[in-house]
Structure 1
Amino acid sequence: MGHTQIESTANARVKEWASLLEKKHRDRQGKYTVEGVHLVQEALRSEADVECVAYDAALGVPAELKEDAQATGQIEWVAVSAAIVAKCTEARTPQPVFAVVRKSAAKIGDILRVENALVAVLDGVQDPGNVGTIIRAADAAGAAGVLIGRGSADIYNPKTVRSTMGSLFHLPIVEGDLTELLPQARAASAKVVSTSLQARQNCYEADYRGATWFVFGSEGSGVSPEVEAFVDESIIIPMPGQAESLNVAMAASVLLFEAVRQRLG
């Protein structure tokens, strides 16, 4: 779509981009921003639905993105002032580039279609860093997708996006009501598994080779009773040391990679 230039922070488009730092505006516009060279590059190369890329006019297109900028596509490249970059991004040392991306259109059907799907399900995981890290672990483990239930951190919050390290663009991420989504997984003969400190079964004794949906609950209170009602198997991660629990993202990594180990075996 070619290159344009915007100088003023009072420009209507700039105001629209800056408003995407707030959830209500992301929801209303169905868009979000990604900041910095690495994430913009991941968005472009993963064929995310990128509307435009804005870069600091004084510095030019970052070297890493030069090739992408030359591709002829639907993406608009906009040269902007440093003040505009600062207004539209959140990171304390803004790398002078950001992209405006349309939210994922993934549906649960995209995940249900995958045979023996490995899925991470988040039930009220509130910390953006934990949500982002679980998405990253799911991506690394080759999961078929991630389900984000109500009460979890917004996946399009700049902090969450940063902590996914680009994994946000690599697999279907579906937001919705878990009490409506989990029955669909069970109807497709998936096993729904959650961790509990009260569980009897050791997590290394269960079988995760078939379709397995791991539910991870909130940092403080675990899986909610409404969601627990749809769980087929409750397991515990053995902890021979003195810490009484694991961070939820660490627990997710342990389980996802135990499933990977079983599937490689």
Structure 2
Amino acid sequence: MSKPIISLTSLQNDQVKAMAALLEKKHRDRTGQFIIEGVHLVQEAIQAGADVRTIVYDGERGIPVELAQLLQEMDCELIEATKGIMAKCSGTDTPPPIFGIVAKMPYEEEALYKENSLVVVLDGVRDPGNVGTIIRSADAVGADAVVLGSGSVDLYNPKTVRSTMGSLFHLPIIEGNLEELLPEAKKRGIRLVGTSLQASATCYGYDWSGPTWLLLGNESNGLSTETLELVDENVIIPMQGKSESLNVAMAGTVLLYESLRQRKFNETIIPVPQPK
């Protein structure tokens, strides 16, 4: 490795304290940076061209082989640290072999209003695992963006970041004010679609082919009253078994894949020839 490597061994080092502080939201907000943990997330961030400021790896384990070439080409600070430092800066019980410090992504609000846009809007979704799964599903179906409304978990919470599995680097994710964004979307001819157990239309009968924002609400209370007043259509996911409901991440995934089916795979089904 031709670039200089900094060695950190003390838990009392000011830089170590500053990195560990990024586990708390107030420090992420103040510095505009967040932590990514593990080989996969570091790999995804670098390949996506994210603004990776610092890479820290476990000195005993060395640089993971999957990242050796990528890091050779990176222009960022490289730090070798002890296991104790890796643990202090990690949000997991088992410290990762490597983590990175990354600048928060800039907002790309225009991505919300692309022609025939498909956007997922989260209204008070609090669970990091649910938010991460929804972002992964939005990424998988090629959605244009995800909006995190107030009351939703912080995108840069370490648990949220881990649960996205790198998808947060693949599409615009905007932390915005729904009281401003939703009326603006309606003004631009975008339909706002929510879910309701009282809805008469199923998600399979709804036409997802036009510009659509899918609104998903809080795990316990659903969409807020203010958001509900702006919804153009509510749909229901039909269930044939005895389950009462799906959690918000599962429901969001079902709806996103129905929108993908209608937009991209709505061809006539060709029957499979049966043996004579």
Which bracket does the TM-score occupy, shorter chain normalised?
over 0.9
Q: Deviations over 1:107-155 (max 9, x none)?
A: 322322x221111100011111101100010000100010001111111
The CA distance in 1 between the partners of 2:81 and 2:228, in whole Å, is 49
- In the superposition, the TM-score normalised over structure 2's length comes to 0.92
Whether the aligned pair in 1 keeps the contact of 2:209 and 2:263 (CA below 8 Å) is: yes
Identity %: 53
Determine which of 13, 16, 34 is the counterpart of 1:14: 16
Amino acid at match of 2:7: Q
CA distance in 2, matches of 1:46, 1:175: 20
Secondary structure in 2 aligned to 1:207?
coil
Counterpart position of 1:224: 224
Taking the TM superposition and a 5 Å limit, the aligned residue runs for 1:177-192 are 177-192=177-192
1:44, CA displacement in angstroms? 0.9
Structure 2 CA distance, aligned partners of 1:111 and 1:9? 43
Instruction: Tell me the residue number matched to 1:209.
Output: 209
Partner of 1:57: 59
- Cα deviation 1:79-116 (Å, max 9, x = unaligned): 1121111110011111221001111112322322x221
What's the CA shift for 1:4? 2.2
Q: Which amino acid is the alignment partner of residue 59 of structure 1?
A: R
Please report the RMSD computed on the Cα atoms of aligned residues, expressed in angstroms.
Answer: 1.2
Shift of 1:215: 0.2
Q: Secondary structure at the match of 2:79?
A: strand
- The letter for the 2-side match of 1:90 is G
Larger CA deviation: 229-238 vs 254-263: 229-238
Aligned to 1:169: 169
**1:153 counterpart residue number:** 153
Instruction: Report the AA paired with residue 158 of structure 1.
Output: P
**Structure 2 counterpart of 1:253, which letter?**
T
Encode CA deviations 1:163-187: one digit per residue, 9 max, x unaligned: 1111011100000211111122222
Aligned to 2:143: 143
- Retained in 1: the 8 A contact 2:132–2:161? yes
CA contact (8 A) 2:90 2:96 kept: no
SS at match of 1:204: coil
Aligned-partner SS, 2:84: helix
Correspondence 1:43 to 2:49: no
The structure that has the greater radius of gyration is 2
What is the total number of aligned residue pairs between the two structures? 263
Tell me which residue corresponds to 1:84: 85
Distance 2:7 2:105 in 1: 27
C-alpha contact (below 8 Å) 2:196/2:235 kept by paired residues: yes
How far off is 1:188 after superposition? 2.2
**Contact 2:130/2:248 (<8 A) preserved:** yes
TM-score for both structures, normalised by structure 1 = 0.96
Q: Secondary structure at the match of 2:121?
A: strand
State the secondary structure of the residue aligned to 2:234. strand
Residue 72 (structure 1) shift: 4.3
Structure 1: runs of 5+ lacking an equivalent = none
The AA in structure 2 aligned to 1:196 is S
Unaligned runs of 5+ in 2: 267-276
- Output the CA distance in 2 between the equivalents of 1:218 and 1:175: 16
CA distance in structure 2 between the partners assigned to 1:122 and 1:100 by the alignment: 26
Secondary structure of 2:40's counterpart equals helix
Shift of 1:28: 1.3
Q: Name the counterpart of 2:30.
A: 28
The one-letter amino acid paired with 1:76 is E
Equivalences for residues 60-139 of structure 1 within 5 A: 60-73=62-75, 75-112=76-113, 114-139=114-139
Is the Cα contact below 8 Å between 1:139 and 1:167 reproduced in 2? yes
3-state SS of the aligned residue for 1:174?
strand
